Structure 1
Amino acid sequence: MHTRRLFLRAVAALAGLVGLALPAAAETITVTDIIGRTVKVEAPVKRIILGEGRQIYFVAALDRDAPFKRVVGWRDDLGKADPDSYKAYLARYPEIAKLPTFGGMKEGAFDVEQAISLKPDVLFLNIEAKVASDEAKLVEKLASVGIPVVYVDFREKPFEHTEPSMRLIGKLFGKEQIAEDFIRFRAEQIARVTDVLAKAGDVKRPLVMVERAGGYSDDCCMSFGDENFGRMTAIAGGRNLATPLIPGTFGTVNPEQIVAANPDVVIVTGGNWDAYVPGGNWVGLGEGADMTEARRKLVNLTKRPAFAQTQAVKDGRVHAIWHQFYNSPYQFVAIQRIATWLHPELFKDLDPDATMKTLHERFLPLPYRPGLWVSLGAGK
């Protein structure tokens, strides 16, 4: 009897070791995506299509060891909208040059047949693609061949949808704990701003004009309502000029409205957009960007009639920040940077560069390279 018990224990131990060595078996799970759809997916997913290349921002945070191991195809926007990140990933993972690419849903350039041929377990789409995907009946076409579509969002309503999007993707990847660790880190870093402001009490909140992609075109001026960078500004202790003027997330503020409001601070979002507007007046920001050139372009933008006579320009309180904070789960770093610009005395010990470096060290596969913001004067 004693020998039999030892034998059974050995068999059980061996089975346990085998179980540890094998990957988790796929099972059908039901998830609810960001627009409230219930979707059945075989998880953990092994083959994914990114409906936007910049979705690698969240994929890399969950699959740090091999951020492209599940990606079988992606939209071609990363190299155009954020070439600095694309080049950095390409240098580390040269195989991504061979990944099949897609055009955008909004442009009607998404190749359904190509998507089906790649046999993905799931297609991720951002919610701004929903209208176009509905018109093309994309969800129905893919469902007919057993490919589910899941909507996520880090752009339209990031302060409602970032956490549930990360949890959703974490569940699909079998990386729930990493997703929770990221969410906790994000909340802690935002609290480093909100806790200080709460303790300070009735602080003066400067009026801030946030210009979306300033210099991308000759038009003036795209901005944000009470979401995205507009909400980041409010969380950081400012008053967003465009909140009462733009009912949704995105919209336009007339130059005359900016002149009349006379903002205390101007913040321009920028990126390296040579692929879209070669030689444009945009402020070229991104990891490793040329800060001298970025500062030169920011100076030029302040000379436009909407800004030239504002208090912000007179006081040197003009800044530019990486545009892609608006489309990634990294918004908490932008909140810290904006807080240091709006309330330099309150946040003199807060170092957003250090926060970004920690983000990379803890969650991302690439080292951090500065180049995400630039200032002209006060509150550098």
Structure 2
Amino acid sequence: MKQKILLLFTVFSLIACKRESKNSSSDWTNISTRTQFKEHDGVLELKSGKFTYHFKQNQIPFKKIILLNASMAGYISELGAENLIIGVSSPEYIYSEKIQQLLENGKIQNVGSEQKYDVEKIISLKPDAIFTNHIASFDNTYELLKNNGIQVIFLDEYKEQKPLEKTAYIKLFGEFLGKEKEADARYKEIQKNYDDLKQMALTAKEKPVVLANEMYGDVWYLPGGNTSVAHYIADANASYIMKDNKDEKALTMTFEEVYAKAGGVQYWVNAGSHASKKEMLAMNPFYGKLDVFTKGKMYTIAGKEKLKANDFFESGAVRADLILKDYIKIFHPELLPGYQLTYMKELQ
């Protein structure tokens, strides 16, 4: 028995030493300007927007987590860690077949929606941590969860506008779930794919003009020139009509304002998730006045959609390389002759 205890002590000492050597680094790992983390003195420190967290060695890796945003499921699935999820909100928006199967089998619980969380159920599940975007109107709920000893972690991945910075959140999830090496390797692979595709796009002979998004009511919400959509279009070697704009948010315009800018447009991307041009025209007859509607090519983001769930917002949050590949296939099909679109779908 003493020999077994001594052996265990030796193993734990080696693990602690190995961990401590990693912790000696004072360098921050920058996900983006919003989010950074580092390990020091046996503590994982995270800065996420206006929130700061400190996690001791005995707190991570997490074994039981709850996700309150479907987009975060993409990171967990990419790391093959779906079995660590014990609860999700609004499961109808989650695309992952494995997560849906775990829900069906009762291994993952439905903990409400973004309109109303089931606080009692969340507390009864006793998660190690909850991952969510911060919604100010839920501050009282967050405080109640914290008062019951539940760690609530706010992440800003939805705010990131540079595609690979959004992908880089996989590194942070790797730290939390004890999959640091897998996360780092996966990020590097996606980054290399992205950079190689970007270089390939530069070999295209033409640089088509592109329009994006659609109208809601009387307003056309065009992506700003510094949004992820604009970055993808630029990296796919195409010319977005608002490329000179510097905003990281959507621009609100009337149809007339967009019409004045859309004369030379050849491609219209991210045109919602409509089933056909006919359906789109029925919703807004003004679309028929655009040359791109009648003469150009139009694409929706409905390539991987099931009922309310759309994988563009889930695995697409991580797989920036596949989204870029779709855009390159759309704008320069000759560069990827054998490739079938993943997230996008041509509107007929």
Structure 1 counterpart of 2:170, one-letter code: M
Q: For the Cα contact (< 8 Å) 1:228–1:326, is it kept in 2?
A: no
Cα 1:258–1:50 shift into 2, 3 Å: same
SS of the equivalent of 2:159 reads: coil
Structure 2 counterpart of 1:266, one-letter code: W
SS of the equivalent of 2:288 reads: coil
- Deviation at 1:144? 3.3
More deviation in 151-160 or 175-184? 151-160
Q: For the Cα contact (< 8 Å) 1:265–1:318, is it kept in 2?
A: yes
Structure 2 counterpart of 1:59, one-letter code: I
Give distance in 2, aligned partners of 1:241 and 1:252: 14
Cα 1:59–1:219 shift into 2, 3 Å: farther
- Deviation at 1:40? 2.6
Q: For the Cα contact (< 8 Å) 1:156–1:249, is it kept in 2?
A: no
- Deviation at 1:189? 2.0
Structure 2 counterpart of 1:205, one-letter code: K
Aligned-residue CA RMSD (Å): 3.6
SS of the equivalent of 1:307 reads: helix
Give distance in 1, aligned partners of 2:165 and 2:338: 26
Structure 2 counterpart of 1:325, one-letter code: F
Tell me, yes or no, if structure 1 residue 132 matches structure 2 residue 149. no
Give distance in 2, aligned partners of 1:302 and 1:348: 31
Q: Structure 2 length normalisation: TM-score?
A: 0.72
**Counterparts of residues 1-380 of structure 1 (less than 5 Å):** 29-35=43-49, 37-41=51-55, 42-62=59-79, 64=80, 67=82, 69-76=83-90, 78-79=91-92, 81=93, 85=95, 89-91=99-101, 94-96=104-106, 99-104=109-114, 107=115, 109-126=116-133, 129-133=134-138, 136-159=139-162, 161-198=165-202, 204-211=206-213, 218-225=217-224, 226-242=226-242, 247-262=247-262, 263-270=265-272, 282-283=273-274, 294=275, 297-301=276-280, 304-322=284-302, 324-326=311-313, 328-345=317-334, 347-349=335-337, 351=339, 353=341, 372-376=343-347
- Deviation at 1:336? 1.0
More deviation in 223-232 or 246-255? 246-255
Q: For the Cα contact (< 8 Å) 1:153–1:161, is it kept in 2?
A: no
- Deviation at 1:259? 1.2
Give distance in 1, aligned partners of 2:213 and 2:194: 22
Q: CA deviation digits over 1:223-273, x for unaligned, max 9?
A: 322212232222212233345568333343321122111222101354xxx
Structure 2 counterpart of 1:131, one-letter code: A
Q: Which runs of 5+ in 2 are unaligned?
A: 20-40, 303-309
Give distance in 1, aligned partners of 2:108 and 2:175: 28
Give distance in 2, aligned partners of 1:123 and 1:298: 41
Identity %: 17
Q: For the Cα contact (< 8 Å) 1:34–1:164, is it kept in 2?
A: no
Q: For the Cα contact (< 8 Å) 1:139–1:148, is it kept in 2?
A: no
- Paired residue for 1:291? none
Cα 1:250–1:110 shift into 2, 3 Å: farther
Cα 1:258–1:310 shift into 2, 3 Å: same
Give distance in 1, aligned partners of 2:11 and 2:98: 40
- Deviation at 1:57? 1.3
Q: CA deviation digits over 1:344-365, x for unaligned, max 9?
A: 33x2347255xx6xxxxxxxxx
